Structure 1
Amino acid sequence: MSLFRGTVDFYRQYRPGIPQSVASILAGAVPARSPRRLFDIGTGTGLVVEALLCRFDDIIAIDNDADMLSAAESALRPQLPDGACLLLQQVTAEDFLPPLGWQADLVTICRAFHWLDQATVLSRLDAQVSLGGAVAIFGDNSFWTATSPWKAAVRSVIQDFLGEQRRAGASMFQHHNRPYSDIMRESRFNQIEEITVPVTRTWTADSILGYLYSTSFAAPHLFGDCLDAFDRAARRALKQFSDTDVFEEENEFLIRIGRRGRG
């Protein structure tokens, strides 16, 4: 069962997309050539591909959730530039096999590396990435780990309903304490560049709840018959921090770009 069962509509509408400042860094990490190939792992509803759609002309995006891929298809196909190729495939990164002779110039893994068998995926990517290509692992900070007062208040409400531990669908989230750059240095993509990109967002109570319902730790089905009660409690908590239903967020994307070292 998918960790994101029942979240796809919220995911597409309320998950923050990839800023063009981040997209520019990603696109600039690899040489310009034709065809220029992108491989997006854990694509979800296609937010990374959407940000890079005009910068690559041969794209493969994978996810193990059929509903997410259907939403990505609906969103991306109408935007596809003339002459560009897009393949969406339901498969895990651990099992993916590219078309014969196909190698990516850039691999993107956004907000998804913690779900993967990290060493296995990085090992398999060595054969799937072209010479001069790169692997970019990146994401912004989760609501769950945030320290701002209004986010902490919302997290407390979630814990009141679902327990202290962070959920991951029907299971509990398994924390990965090792920095991703350390894990990458144990792979062939061991030349690491780290770039931080600040981002400011403005939320409302509706968009905050919509975002939460897109996550594995607050998916609607987890609350069962208590979903309406949770919704009301979260909105009451948020009202303590804004009379105008405006909530400012300072966040950042940490981008780790790995390239092959010598030897």
Structure 2
Amino acid sequence: MADRIAAPGATVAIMGDGSLWTHESQWTQALRELIQRYLGPSRRAGARGTYTAPSRSYREDLTATAWSDVAEHSIPVTRTWTPSDVLGYLRTTSFAGPELFGEHHAAFEAEARALLQTHADEGELLERTVFTVLLARRSRTGS
């Protein structure tokens, strides 16, 4: 679709850095295990399904299209969270939104807050991650 609607010299950007579900640290691992204790071992994807990892990366998808001239940029990022920030974030996700817990949501949040406070250093939790930006142009030999 991007190939059909984008201007001839356009660049497509795909960017992101995962989520607290995929971030590897002691506190995110403990949080993920707590979520799984409530919701089961599979990563949820909303109220009706579970997450299925894509078979190819965005880079692989792009290189198989007219947007095959791909440059990747990695930007280290450190975020500081409080336990309340994390709980607010979780409420917006498809893997730990309140509707998934039903009547157990308040109990989950209380347990999650206590867990996060044990991992917080002076009230803060650090997330060190890499923000990836893929910039793709149409191949010079393509369309």
TM-score by length of 2: 0.93
The residue aligned with 1:152 is 29
What is the rounded CA distance, in whole Å, between the counterparts of 1:235 and 1:221 in structure 2? 18
Alpha-carbon distance, 1:244 to partner: 2.5
The residue aligned with 1:183 is 61
Q: Could you tell me which amino acid in structure 2 is paired with residue 228 of structure 1?
A: A
Q: Pick from 185, 208, 213: which aligns with 2:86? A: 208
1:164 aligns to 2:36 (yes or no)? no
The residue aligned with 2:74 is 196
What is the rounded CA distance, in whole Å, between the counterparts of 1:157 and 1:127 in structure 2? 45
Structure 1 residues 243 and 182: CA distance shift in structure 2, 3 A = closer
Gaps of 5+ in 1: 1-123
| Partner SS, residue 130 of structure 1 | coil
The residue aligned with 1:136 is 13
Structure 1 residue ranges, 4+ long, deviating more than 6 angstroms after superposition: none
Q: Pick from 133, 137, 141: which aligns with 1:255? A: 133
Gaps of 5+ in 2: none
Alpha-carbon distance, 1:132 to partner: 1.0
| Partner SS, residue 217 of structure 1 | coil
CA contact (8 A) 2:23 2:129 kept: no
Q: Pick from 107, 112, 120: which aligns with 1:242? A: 120
Q: Percent identity?
A: 39
Total equivalences in the alignment: 140
Q: What pairs with 1:1-263 in structure 2 (closer than 5 Å)?
A: 124-169=1-46, 170-242=48-120, 244-261=122-139, 262-263=141-142
- 1:23-81 deviations in Å (ceiling 9; x for gaps): xxxxxxxxxxxxxxxxxxxxxxxxxxxxxxxxxxxxxxxxxxxxxxxxxxxxxxxxxxx
- 1:161-190 deviations in Å (ceiling 9; x for gaps): 101100001211111142211110111101
Alpha-carbon distance, 1:243 to partner: 5.4
What is the rounded CA distance, in whole Å, between the counterparts of 1:177 and 1:162 in structure 2? 24
Alpha-carbon distance, 1:251 to partner: 1.5
Q: Could you tell me which amino acid in structure 1 is paired with residue 26 of structure 2?
A: P
TM-score by length of 1: 0.52
Q: Cα RMSD over matched residues?
A: 1.1
Alpha-carbon distance, 1:236 to partner: 1.8
CA contact (8 A) 2:62 2:68 kept: yes
